[in-house]
Amino acid sequence: MKIIRWIGRVILKVTLWFFGISIGLVILYRFVPVPVTPLMVIRLAEQAFDSKKEMRLYKDWVSIEKMSRHAPQAVVAAEDQKFMDHRGFDFEAMEKAWENNKKGKRIKGASTITQQTVKNVFLWPSRSYVRKGLEAYFTVLVELLWSKERILEVYLNVIEMGEGVYGIEAAAQTYFNKSASKLSQSQAALIAAVLPNPRRWSPARPTGYIRGRQAWIMRQMNNLAPLGVGA
C-alpha cells in the first residue's frame, strides 16, 4: 500500500509541475519573444554532426506591426484560410485528411496555424500519439490565452523558412535583401509557397511548381478579407 501511495504522490506532483510549467510558458510567450524553439536546437545538432553543413541559425524577431501586411495574409491564404474563425482545430480538414488516408490518397496536412505554432514553440517533430496529444493540449491553451494576432506574430517569427532561416524577417533579408516590412504581395506569397518543405524549396530558386503555388496563394490573398494586421 505504501508503494502505491508513493507512486500516486509522484504522479500527482509530476502532473502539477507539468500543468504549472506549461501554463506558465504559454502565459510568458503571450508577452515576450520566443528565444529559441526545439526545432532550432535539433537543426543545430544536425548541422554540428554533418561536416557538409555550416552551423547556421538566422532569426530576427519583429513585431507584427512592423511586418508587411502581405506576410500574415499570405500564410493564412496558404496554410489556414479558416484561421480567424476556428478555435485551433479545423475539424472539416481533419475529417477530409482522415478519409483520404483511408483511401490511400496523398495526405494533405490538416494542421492549423495554431497547431503549427504550438508544434514549433513547445514540442518536437514527431508523429507519435503522445506528441499529438500534447499538441492538442497546447493548442487549447494558446487559443484561450493568446489573441489571433499574437498567434500569427509568433508563427511568423519562429517558423522554419530555409536551412537555418527562421521567421519572416530573416527570410526577407535572406531571399530579398529587404526587411519584412517592405515585402511585396508576390514576395510574401513566394515565401509562403515553400512553407510545406522549406529545406527542399527556396524562394531564391523557385521551381515551376512553386511559381504555381505562388500564383494560387496570391489569388487566395485577394479573395480573403484583409486581416487588419501588419504594416
* CA nearest neighbour of 191 among 182, 66, 27: 182
Whole-number pLDDT of residue 101: 63
pTM for the full predicted model: 0.91
Residues 90, 113: Cα–Cα separation, whole Å: 10
Asked whether residue 106 carries a pLDDT value surpassing 70, the answer given is no
With contact defined as beta carbons under 8 Å apart, do 133 and 169 qualify? no
- 59 compared with 228, residue with greater pLDDT: 59
pLDDT tens for each residue of 168-178:
999 999 999 99
pLDDT tens for each residue of 55-88:
889 999 999 999 999 999 999 999 999 999 999 8
Residues 49, 69: Cα–Cα separation, whole Å: 39
Q: What is the CA radius of gyration of the chain?
A: 19
With contact defined as beta carbons under 8 Å apart, do 135 and 126 qualify? no
Give the pLDDT mean for 98-107.
60
Domain ranges of the chain: 28-223
CA distances from residue 107 to 53, 104, 199 in whole angstroms, order as listed: 31, 8, 19
Whole-number pLDDT of residue 93: 73
Fold of 28-223: Penicillin binding protein transpeptidase fold (1.10.3810)
Q: Considering the chain, what is the average pLDDT of its residues?
A: 91
